[in-house]
Amino acid sequence: MGSTVSIIVRIRNLTNQDITATTVYDVDSFDFGATLRPDRVFAGAAIPSGSCLERTIELNSIASNCPFAVKMSFRNGATDAFKVNAKCAYDGTDPNFRHLVKSHHVFCKKSAGSRILEIVVQHTEAQMRNQRAEQLNREGDALLAAGRYHEASIKLLEAAQKANQDDTKAAIRRTRLQLDGAKGSDVDKRAEGLNDEGMQLLKENKYQRAIGKFDEGLKIAKNVYTVSLIEYNLRTVRDAKANQDAKKLNQEGLLLKKNNQNETALQKFDEALRIAIDPTLVNSIKINKADVLNIEGRTALESAWSAETSLPDRTEEAIHQFAKAKFLFEQAESLRHNPECRNDLDIVNIKVEGNKFFNAALQLESEGSSLVDKSVKSESSADCKMAREKYQEAWNNYKEAKKKFEEGLKKGDVKFELSLTATNEALHGIQNVLNELEKAELEIALKRADVVNKRGAAIGITVICASFVSPAFRKFCLPYIPATKTQIDNVLIALAGRQGRLLDVGSGDGRIVLGSTVDAFNIFTKMAKNHFEAHGVELNFWLVMYSRLNALTKGLGHKTEFHRGDLWKFHVGRYDNIVIFGVEQMMADLERKFELECKSNCHVVACRFPLPNKTPIRTVGHGVDTVWVYILNNHREPL
């Protein structure tokens, strides 16, 4: 033998089992020194759990490989064996490590230049899981001993899911059998069989069939363990199935959205959200639902804006659509924040708020108008004061509405311009009313009714009417242009021989209404007498007031009624005769209204502008004073 070189071999036991003996074999005398040979230095050595054993061995310096094999016997009967080339620790040749008998995870480490060859023995991952199962089984056992059966059952269930060694599985089963206080009944074996079939189906994504198996198993399972196991698996498969169904509904929703069937798409998303469990899936359904809500919200918003500015009146629809848009945007925001839609929501909120003030103001204005009527009759300054307070309140509300609409305009939505114009006009008009009420001390003015009668038309009416505009959101309104004497004569000729109820639509200062009840004009005395019960509907409350005063002073209060209101909202179905002196743009809409509402054989007399689609039965006069007479025969039941 030539010269020898020394290296250190170290075996590190990181398992929780003692190595009770090591046996070294396959040692060639040529490769090692005479005394410090692996089989001599390690012979029979024990390596307790968590410690390491280190030995110096001598290698023949001219041997190219110095292999030796070690068998390690563990206290629990497990064995590992490996073979390694010791020369690697000296000259860095290939350790040629081979794990011959495997119970644990065994590998070799060689740090460069250290001349130490280290063999590490540790548990495999499966062993670690199994150890955890053993631990859980012990805990289950303790709980069983303490009579805490339910907790014990949960421990054993977890242990069974982790165990991968037969003896551990058997130990768990023993504990379980003890827990059930039985040797394992046939039905439970059958139930477990069904559970296994269910698990297989679950793996194949056949959820419905798996649920069937688990349900069947649950029906027959008797022992607590089997029941818990199947219930646990049933929950798992139900969750998987719910997610699968939700995914399908989500897809269907998306398809419907693509086909613009948004309402049904929303139903699908709602259904999907009700059942989905997976948080990522839930989130993506929420995003899809929010998208559709936003689309629908925008549609509602568009319809609201257009309904608000259309004729005939669609205010109710506009209110409904704004509320709908608000509801949809709010829902969308709660699901997913989106700056663009947040802006739409802000706009709707501003508009809805503004409209609330605006409508409250309209209501107050109308209450104020009734109070003015009351004060006309009572001639009480207290009533007059109350009227002024109402108008003041209306003014405050219009002011708030104005703030809102300005806010909307600042947000860049030009649609607020119209609302703002209407509000400004209303404010301007009410300001005039307030001034008049204050200045003239209405009740004093009323006491001098005859003076008003003589001068009112010239002063009060023309001045106020010029500033007192039509209600908000109307595209066009009737200007106050009183009928000429010739025109009134023509109307009376047109109505010759007629009787019953008469309505002047947009009655102005009431001259047609009053004229139709008495023979106040020359021509009238020549014609058959027209003793109508005559009504007027008029938006401008000053004109209404003036008409009422005029009727009173002429002693015609009992034969006339003057309603303050919007002609588009005033039903004309109870009248036998209707007179209209309007503007050309509104004649088509009026014709439609008459067709819808007039009772059969109602005579409509149109002044200056004819009804565009109907043929008149008669035309009286010429030029600007022409009147056209129509018969409405729509066979409606009289109201």
Residues of this chain that interact with ligand SAM (CB under 6 A) are: 470, 477-478, 480-483, 504, 506-508, 511-512, 537-540, 543, 566-568, 581
Residue 179 CA to residue 159 CA, distance in Å, equals: 14
| 629: three-class secondary structure by DSSP | strand
Q: How many CB atoms lie within 10 A of CB 379?
A: 14
Nearer to ligand SAM, 106 or 461 (CB): 461
Nearer to ligand SAM, 477 or 631 (CB): 477
**In angstroms, what is the minimal distance from the CB of 474 to ligand SAM?**
6
Q: Which two tokens stand for residue 52?
A: 């390491």
Nearer to ligand SAM, 230 or 478 (CB): 478
Three-state DSSP string of 126-176: HHHHHHHHHHHHHHHHHHHHCCCHHHHHHHHHHHHHHCCCHHHHHHHHHHH
Alpha helices in 411-519 (DSSP H): 416-440, 442-447, 449-455, 462-467, 485-494, 511-517
CB-based contact 45:22 (threshold 8 Å)? yes
**In angstroms, what is the minimal distance from the CB of 475 to ligand SAM?**
11
**In angstroms, what is the minimal distance from the CB of 390 to ligand SAM?**
21
Nearer to ligand SAM, 159 or 512 (CB): 512
**In angstroms, what is the minimal distance from the CB of 512 to ligand SAM?**
5
**In angstroms, what is the minimal distance from the CB of 386 to ligand SAM?**
25
**In angstroms, what is the minimal distance from the CB of 476 to ligand SAM?**
8
Nearer to ligand SAM, 172 or 627 (CB): 627
Among 542, 351, 299, 506, CA closest to 430: 542
Fill in the amino acid letter for 629.
V
Please give the torsion angle defined by the CA atoms of residues 248, 254, 256 and 257, in that order, rounded to the nearest 10 degrees.
160
Beta pairing class for 618-620 and 627-632? antiparallel
Query: CA-CA distances (angstroms) from residue 230 to 23, 219, 225, 332?
Result: 48, 10, 9, 40
Among 478, 469, 364, 464, CA closest to 425: 469
Alpha helices in 32-124 (DSSP H): 38-41, 88-91
Q: Which two tokens stand for residue 537?
A: 């509907």
Nearer to ligand SAM, 404 or 511 (CB): 511
Residue 533 CA to residue 546 CA, distance in Å, equals: 19
- At residue 205, φ and ψ (nearest 5 deg) are 65, 25
Helix (H) or strand (E) holding 526: helix 522-526
Nearer to ligand SAM, 328 or 483 (CB): 483
Nearer to ligand SAM, 60 or 490 (CB): 490
Residue 426 CA to residue 359 CA, distance in Å, equals: 12
**In angstroms, what is the minimal distance from the CB of 583 to ligand SAM?**
7
CB-based contact 272:307 (threshold 8 Å)? no
Tokens 């809102």 sit on residue: 404
**In angstroms, what is the minimal distance from the CB of 559 to ligand SAM?**
17
**In angstroms, what is the minimal distance from the CB of 607 to ligand SAM?**
6
In angstroms, the first-to-last Cα distance of the chain is 134
Please give the torsion angle defined by the CA atoms of residues 437, 443, 446 and 448, in that order, rounded to the nearest 10 degrees.
-110
**In angstroms, what is the minimal distance from the CB of 260 to ligand SAM?**
37
Residue 636 CA to residue 632 CA, distance in Å, equals: 10
Beta pairing class for 98-101 and 79-85? antiparallel
| 603: three-class secondary structure by DSSP | strand
Nearer to ligand SAM, 329 or 628 (CB): 628
CB-based contact 576:598 (threshold 8 Å)? no
Nearer to ligand SAM, 480 or 575 (CB): 480
Residue 102 CA to residue 81 CA, distance in Å, equals: 7
Nearer to ligand SAM, 511 or 559 (CB): 511
CB-based contact 568:313 (threshold 8 Å)? yes
Q: How many CB atoms lie within 10 A of CB 229?
A: 24
Nearer to ligand SAM, 155 or 564 (CB): 564
Nearer to ligand SAM, 58 or 504 (CB): 504
The neighbouring-strand residues paired with 99 are 82
Nearer to ligand SAM, 210 or 539 (CB): 539
Give the residue at shortest CB distance from ligand SAM. Answer: 506
Query: CA-CA distances (angstroms) from residue 578 to 503, 593, 632?
Result: 5, 12, 10
**In angstroms, what is the minimal distance from the CB of 566 to ligand SAM?**
5
**In angstroms, what is the minimal distance from the CB of 567 to ligand SAM?**
3
